[in-house]
């Protein structure tokens, strides 16, 4: 028996590259081989390129190996590269769940989105456009036991990886790169119902959030709902990330309307802060966002507005997340080299720990409950949270405030601080150590540094 089926095999090759690969998957399933290998050379065209204009549909107990190949979404096409089911109307029951799916790269396989096709949230389901999710490179839902490994994504047209109700999986050794020439160019998006997933060894540059955990059960999740499955995101490990976002967050956690995000471990996250010259085109036909991105480039160049964002006063139908709905977040070894802040908290958070935090250069805040210089203002409800082991080196930054538990806009909602502890921090050349509208319940100790208007040395509890 063959060890694998390739789209170059006799009887497999079709009139298009997508159909050839789809044929290879079908034959691999029919013969029991259940392994497809896409080689570098396309025998049909004699080129080292595979043009994808139709999604490759996955199945249980299937492995697809990209062997040092180059896949490119066809210009003007409206479909994914890989998708769980043939149609969005399928895969909504646990009986249909896919299991044991592997998409593995060998060598340096690249998946390229090509040119932006005009499909985004504003044009989704208008005119001849399909739903915007068809611009995901990988659109996966209702899946258990999966591996996505050693793939290199370029020029994504929207979110690159979009996962709903997926669990017991691993995404590792993947890179992303785009120039912000299309809206919402996220890297990895875990949505409603995702759990028990390891994300590790991620590199590159996203236009929007590099990694986003977003549980919005009333905000479009109905399209990929799975009956009888939960609506939370939990037990996720994110580690060893080296990368940046042109203007959004490196990692973002958001939940609304009763969904929960909990048991999240984040470790060894580095913002590379590549500089404004990398930003590229800025959506010339998208003025609302173009202004925001132009302002960010002017003020700071190409860097995320924060390394880690928790909560967002938006995206909800009934309410944004409450402290009891976002908890047990453990984030350590965070390195910021120029984003607006290290940690931004804009709604509820409880029972969480943040430690070993390093910030330098143009970082405005270590922790803030407002937003950056040119983004929205918010507030927060923070309870039983510890920040410790902090190093903040900042030179000639008029915005530099280590801990800003405040808001910067009269439209922002209120905030509450209850049992917030800050300890063991070196704070160099800050304009302010604290910016607090109301005292709240904050304890702090072991803070050292030099800052405007205050003497150097240790600050003790008042």
pTM of the model: 0.92
Contact (Cβ atoms closer than 8 angstroms) between residue 437 and residue 407: yes
Backbone dihedral angles phi then psi of residue 96, each to the nearest 5 degrees: -90, 0
How far apart CA 208 and CA 251 sit, in angstroms, is 10
Q: Could you tell me the CA-to-CA distances from 264 to 147, 203, 210, 334, 402 in Å, in that order? A: 19, 20, 16, 15, 24
Contact (Cβ atoms closer than 8 angstroms) between residue 404 and residue 344: no
Give DSSP secondary structure letters for 241-258.
EEEEESSSEEEEEEEBTT
- The tens place of each residue's pLDDT in the chain, 462 residues long, gives 679 999 999 999 999 999 999 999 999 999 999 999 999 999 999 999 999 999 999 999 999 999 999 999 999 999 999 999 999 999 999 999 999 999 999 999 999 999 999 999 999 999 999 999 999 999 999 999 999 999 999 999 999 999 999 999 999 999 999 988 889 999 999 999 999 999 999 999 999 999 999 999 987 778 999 999 999 999 999 999 999 998 789 999 999 999 999 999 999 999 986 543 344 434 344 333 443 444 444 444 546 788 999 998 778 888 889 999 999 999 999 999 876 889 999 889 999 999 999 998 678 889 988 765 444 556 788 999 999 999 988 767 777 788 887 654 444 455 678 899 999 998 877 777 877 765 567 888 888 775 533 433 344 443
Q: Which residues are 245's β-sheet partners? A: 206
**pLDDT tens-digit profile of 79-135?**
999 999 999 999 999 999 999 999 999 999 999 999 999 999 999 999 999 999 999
**pLDDT tens-digit profile of 291-342?**
344 444 444 454 678 899 999 877 888 888 999 999 999 999 999 987 688 9
Contact (Cβ atoms closer than 8 angstroms) between residue 233 and residue 195: yes
Q: Could you tell me the CA-to-CA distances from 1 to 6, 8, 32, 176, 321 in Å, in that order? A: 14, 17, 9, 36, 54
């Amino acid at each position: 028996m063959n060890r694998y089926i390739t789209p170059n095999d006799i009887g497999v090759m079709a009139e298009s590259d997508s159909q050839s690969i789809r044929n290879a998957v079908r034959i691999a399933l029919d013969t029991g081989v259940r392994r497809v290998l896409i080689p570098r050379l396309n025998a049909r065209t004699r080129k080292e390129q595979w043009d994808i204009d139709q999604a490759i549909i996955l199945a249980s107990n299937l492995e697809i190996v990209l062997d040092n190949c180059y896949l490119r979404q066809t210009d003007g096409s409206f479909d994914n590269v890989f998708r769980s089911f043939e149609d969005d109307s399928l895969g909504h029951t646990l009986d249909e769940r896919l299991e044991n799916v592997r998409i593995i790269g060998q060598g340096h396989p690249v998946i390229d989105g090509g040119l932006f096709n005009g499909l985004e949230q504003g044009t989704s389901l208008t005119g001849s456009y399909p739903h915007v999710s068809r611009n995901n490179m990988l659109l996966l839902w209702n899946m258990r036991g999966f591996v996505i490994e050693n793939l290199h994504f370029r020029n994504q047209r929207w979110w690159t990886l979009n996962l709903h109700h997926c669990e017991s999986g691993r995404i590792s050794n993947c890179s992303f790169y785009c120039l912000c020439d299309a809206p919402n160019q996220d890297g990895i998006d875990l949505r409603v119902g995702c759990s028990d997933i390891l994300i590790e060894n991620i590199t590159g540059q996203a236009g929007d959030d590099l990694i986003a955990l977003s549980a919005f059960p009333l905000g479009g999740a109905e399209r990929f709902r799975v009956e009888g499955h939960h609506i939370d995101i939990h037990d996720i490990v994110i580690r060893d990330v080296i990368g940046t976002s042109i203007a959004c967050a490196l990692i973002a956690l958001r939940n609304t309307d009763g969904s929960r995000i909990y048991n999240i471990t984040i470790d060894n996250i580095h913002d590379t802060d590549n500089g404004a010259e990398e930003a590229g085109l800025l959506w010339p036909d998208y003025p609302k966002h173009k202004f925001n991105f132009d302002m960010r480039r002017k003020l700071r160049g190409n860097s995320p507005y924060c390394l880690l964002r928790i909560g967002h006063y938006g995206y909800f139908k009934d309410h944004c997340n409450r402290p009891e709905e976002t908890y047990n977040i453990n984030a350590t070894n965070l390195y910021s080299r120029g984003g607006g802040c290290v940690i931004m908290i804009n709604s509820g958070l409880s029972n969480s720990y943040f430690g070993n935090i390093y910030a330098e250069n143009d970082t405005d805040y270590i922790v803030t409950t407002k937003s950056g210089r040119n983004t929205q203002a918010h507030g927060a409800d923070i309870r039983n949270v510890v920040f410790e082991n902090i190093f903040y080196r900042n030179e000639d930054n008029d915005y530099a405030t280590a801990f800003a538990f405040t808001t910067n806009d009269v439209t922002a909602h209120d905030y509450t601080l209850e049992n917030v502890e800050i300890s063991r921090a070196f704070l160099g050349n800050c304009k302010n150590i604290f910016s607090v509208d109301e005292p709240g319940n904050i304890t702090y100790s072991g803070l050292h540094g030099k800052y405007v208007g205050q003497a150097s040395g240790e600050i003790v509890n008042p």
